[in-house]
Structure 1
């Protein structure tokens, strides 16, 4: 059949896993005076992308059936939900099948999943909002403006989580989807805070700051997920964050600036999520076409981070971390002081770690050899003054990053403390 094939239900562990996520997420639903939201939509999109229309529809209907029994929902609402959850997973699943997304390469697959997420998200909203609006006398445009538009940032983040989860599953397998549980929980906490802050206008500014910080916790979860696909890149990012913070401290940057460059260091290579495995895991020399893709990762990473409210400065640092003092860098060919200072710190930390890392693509060099190379490219590739500041730190301390174990990676990411701290109200 066009909508359900035996192969769609394999592996059955994935079907059961996604069904469990959808149901559990629906149990933790976010409810306000005007809206009820769950993260089960991400699980349904994953079912569309990784399984097919039949399993996606089945998981959707099972989720709302359990919700109806639990909440004793009225007949009209049940009917509306059944129609919606039987329709948008079917549309999305068939779109995946017709477009043959499953056989696409990494970047095309990610783009296609994003497009499917956006389309079915709008279809789902309209199928729920139109009948409810008719019953209450509200126009669909009113609901779009007051309900849908304010949650677009959260939906964009949900789309990024769905794409990252689907891509990681294809590369690593079912164990990687454990990260989805963390991501879904954070997504729902994030959305709850966003909606509550809308309803409590007097707290909007404080909540926006809190939410922006929490969203960085979600992106930190992406770094952990990236480590499942490519441990080398994830550990490199943590090392760059450590070294860049040390440079910022040495030159007298504020605590806020040090945290900013540390966060940018952790996320500076997040754009590599879009790389196909033949590039991300390559053990060969890259050709010209491969390098064209590689050079897009500052832009791709900046685009993802820029969607997070309040983190435009982090995105700008990420965008410029491969610029050169002499203007021969990418993606914009900036020169000298045109390059943000914190981006210049990331460039130095990046260059040093690539040379000295024990699990890099090349044989590591000694600290003395790395310092000599930093000085050799100082003033052309790297900022000379910042290079000397970093060398001072290296020569008087034992600053280093241990790539061959998980300890330094976990310590630098400090995921649990990061999320826990950001989720609590900040003291004045």
Structure 2
């Protein structure tokens, strides 16, 4: 490719391409200096020298454009001490796209476009767009071969964010072309100022993109740390009392199903599922005589039990972004008749998702082995749910859950730890937290 490009550049070279010599020297100096201010991002080198090269293609010809491009990349290779493979890839790229752009500009002139006419600026604009596309394709291929970057990834992370600045650069080239046609070499004073501004703005754009990516990465890491800490608490509770952990997993699964049946949004379904997993995290305050009690609790012990929703909410509320989950946990033992705890809320005063967890919690406590109750059959549990409907529990949610149970569309087996781990799904918790 390199030999072919150089051969075509030599064969198409004309003496008139190298005049005026002052223009050749100015464009060469501008290209080299602009490249010295280049920006390295995601494996791509972005430089204002491209503007000088496009002007060389349009107002000199393919051979001078190739020569200026190779001078620019040669100085860069010496400065950066690149590997042979990277150097060859860059040299091929900087020989090909100026040649193609120069030939396109010459073809436009031979087709009747007047380099001294104002309309020629739009020819230069078109050459810019064509060659920036070819340049990206060649550099992306080099990135794929020598750095292992995927082409699609480079399009998304390099080309797409730069499209606004490249459009601005193409417009700058058009404007300079019009000025150069009107006033000649003196237009370079305008170009130098514009190029400095362009380099500065492009650098600011890329740095802001990188800061945004770093912030997103740090946010994800913080989410993983915070949600992971809660998951560790739940898993620690599981080690102390596997029944409570599996109960939390069952409540989470039932609650999500009820929320779906009640017409809640996907976000609310995820929220109630997370709250279900964490709703008993306040049981850390229970002494073993309560957590593993085989008989009914004393009045003093019941006072301790009644503190666990508020304690759990306090722990979860310490995690930034989980305030809504904390409030659901705080209210999951409130009753619609106002006789619940800790605040004695009634009816619609109780958050909907808390009322959902109350239904799921009540059913699972009745049907699964716990510390003080012998499990009952599904039919007996359904009868009890209906008995306390509209006093302890929300009647509409009770019937929605019963419909699910009778349709056998929701079930949970308190048999293995795998059920608990599947519901916990730490990675999903982190994804939901970040979203």
TM-score normalised per structure 1: 0.49
TM-score normalised per structure 2: 0.49
Q: Quick check: which has more Rg, 1 or 2?
A: 2
